[in-house]
Amino acid sequence: MVKLKRRITLDLAVAAFGLGSWLGVNGTFLQAPLLLRQLPEGWALPTWITLAVQLGNVGIVVHVLARRLLPRIPDAAYIYCLLATGAAGLFLNAFLHAETVFWVGAERSLSFLTLAFCSALVGCTSSVLFYPYLRHFREEYLVTYMVGEGLSGLLPSVLALIQGVGGEPECVPSPDGSTWTTVHPPPLFDTDVFLSTLGGLAIVSLLSFTYIHNTSQFDSERKSPTENKELRKEAPVRLLDQSWACLFAASAALNCVNNGVLNAVQSYSCMPYGATTYHLAATLKVAADPAVCLAAVWLAPLSVRALTAMLAAAAGPLAYMLATALLSPTPPLQDQAAGRALVVRTAAAYNDP
């Protein structure tokens, strides 16, 4: 059988399409070390961001209902709407993130959290929209898409490292010397520049999908209707088997901790060690995700026992992060370089499973 050549143009377009998947969610969390200084939620801001992101799963429910009520609408229409929503959310948040409203007895960052929810709709719904759309193409391009999905974490992380946090706060005297004021050195560029840049990348993702869906030059890379029918005739997987049940339980536990608990408590765990430490921990945690996801593409699937053992090994870093959060604002080794290095390494290490 003759092996078909890859279309490099399609590879680039599919990778750019995948770039828009988790761009907004990753970018929002990466700005938390800077925004918690400005927004009224303070150290609790990552908890509110986590809540907004988890609410983004409502997009899956809406999509399922829309497919049942409006079955003739193609997936492409939903993808257009989703990518446009993500890009608009990033651009609007670039200019509205500092706006607050008085609600339920306190100032709230309602616009920032609402637009973070819009960005989360893209990431949470991409798994049930983007992957099924790619079934129409040869399997090789699914790996390319996952590369782009990995870039949605890597590129914002690199940008955040360049941005920095400006260093630790300093106490400076007033002009007359009567009082002291805390001054936060500014980063290399502000949040509005950061989010606008991500908004531009989201537009690239939208344009790439438009190109993939509407050009005829990639017809040779699409699967024929016969191939798609053969895939649907494959024997169904028995999801109630013990191995699958264990795998689902382990995956649920990992996602609950990694996407919920750790993101919510990271500010309390890292901020006592300094703003720079929190910035590095948050950035390297996001940067580690694509590396792990891409490694999973080429590594052989692990057994349920191996996955369980890896989750058990991850209990150590998890326990340390929770302990430093509970002991905040005076965690162990607070004033030592070893303590800062340990909390940063722990944040990145928990993505290893």
316 band by pLDDT with thresholds 50, 70 and 90: confident
| E-only strand ranges, the chain | 101-103, 106-108, 170-173, 180-183
Inter-residue contact 39 to 116 (CB < 8 Å): no
Distance CA 55, CA 113 (A): 11
Distance CA 187, CA 160 (A): 10
Distance CA 101, CA 111 (A): 8
38 pLDDT more than 80? yes
pLDDT at 54: 92
pLDDT, tens only, 43-78: 899 999 999 999 999 999 999 999 999 889 999 999
Beta-ladder partners of 180: 173
Q: Which string of DSSP letters, residue by residue, matches 169-204?
A: -EEEE-TTSS-EEEE----SS-HHHHHHHHHHHHHH
Distance CA 314, CA 330 (A): 24
Distance CA 256, CA 269 (A): 18
Peptide bond into 186 cis (omega under 30): no
Residue 216 amino acid letter: S
Distance CA 132, CA 129 (A): 6
- Cβ–Cβ contacts within 10 Å for residue 160, how many? 26
pLDDT at 241: 67
Distinct helix (H) and strand (E) counts, the chain: 16, 4
251 band by pLDDT with thresholds 50, 70 and 90: confident
Highest mean pLDDT among 79-83, 184-188, 301-305: 79-83
Inter-residue contact 274 to 340 (CB < 8 Å): yes
114 pLDDT more than 60? yes
Residues 6+ apart with CB under 8 A from 283: 30, 157, 160, 161
pLDDT at 171: 74
296 band by pLDDT with thresholds 50, 70 and 90: low
Inter-residue contact 206 to 214 (CB < 8 Å): no
Distances (CA, A) of 226 to 103, 134, 303: 57, 16, 33
Distances (CA, A) of 272 to 72, 275, 282, 301: 54, 8, 14, 39
What mean pLDDT comes out for the span 216-241?
66
Cα Rg of the chain, angstroms: 22
Mean pLDDT across the chain: 84
From the number of C-beta atoms within 10 Å of its C-beta (0-12, 13-18, 19+), residue 239 rates as exposed
Beta-ladder partners of 181: 172
pLDDT at 353: 42
Inter-residue contact 37 to 184 (CB < 8 Å): yes
**pTM above the 0.85 mark?**
yes
pLDDT at 285: 81
pLDDT at 234: 55
Q: Which has the minimum average pLDDT: 20-29, 208-217, 257-266?
A: 257-266
pLDDT at 2: 42
Distance CA 15, CA 139 (A): 14
Q: Which of 40, 37, 45 is nearest to 108 (CA)?
A: 40
Q: Which of 49, 48, 45, 47 is nearest to 26 (CA)?
A: 49
Inter-residue contact 19 to 276 (CB < 8 Å): no
Ordered structural domains, the chain, with CATH:
1-167+186-223 (1.20.1250.20), 240-353 (no CATH)
pLDDT at 351: 55
